[in-house]
Amino acid sequence: MAVNRVTPEYPPHFKRFYVCFEALKKGWKEGCRPIIGLYGCFLKGPFKGKLLATVGINGNNQMYPVAWAIVEGECIDSWAWFLSLLTAALGMEDDLGYIIISDQQKGLEISINDILPRVEHRNCARHDLSNWSGRKKENTFKFTFWKVVKSTTEKE
């Protein structure tokens, strides 16, 4: 957990909070694929900020929670802080053989390249479709888009 002081006489105020339970960490290492999904979303209510979350994929193709953090905002600094803690917790320092899937969050791609330069990074197809759909008629291209995304060969 990180706290800040505006000046020495001011009380500390909350900046960031990271959670990665030992049981979840062990479960990811022993029972999940080497795939990490990263996502950030707004916190609503009296205390603003962002929730950064990490999920894995277990043997049944189900989402598996790994770690999460509450940060002041989505930026290179907060993503780098989160990824540094996550990398250390999961033992991903060699960063070979891992895949990260994300949705083009602000500062995330730069942070991934800095902290895990050799990891394979892909964008979430659902988010790409929604970004693309703003420019095109969604129903016209939706079927073709998913057919291409699910194909396993160039010919398909």
* pLDDT, tens digit (0-9, with 9 covering 90-100), for 112-152: 888 888 887 776 656 566 666 565 555 667 777 677 767 77
Edge to edge, what strands does the sheet with 63-71 contain? 2-4, 13-19, 63-71, 49-57, 35-43, 99-102, 120-123
* pLDDT, tens digit (0-9, with 9 covering 90-100), for 105-121: 667 788 888 888 888 77
Where exactly are the structural domains of the chain? 2-123, 126-156
Q: Which long-range contacts (CB under 8 A, 24 or more apart) does 108-116 make?
A: 108/38, 108/40, 108/74, 108/79, 110/76, 110/79, 111/76, 111/79, 111/80, 111/83, 112/79, 112/83, 114/80, 115/80, 115/83, 115/84, 115/87, 116/83, 116/87, 116/92
**Residue 54 confidence (pLDDT):** 94
Q: Is beta strand 49-57 parallel, antiparallel or unpaired with respect to 120-123?
A: unpaired
Kindly report the pTM of this predicted structure.
0.76
* pLDDT, tens digit (0-9, with 9 covering 90-100), for 2-23: 556 566 777 666 788 999 999 9
Distance CA 111, CA 96 (A): 16
Contact 91, 34 (CB under 8 A): no
Mean pLDDT of the 11-39 span: 89
Q: What percent of the chain has pLDDT over 70?
A: 77
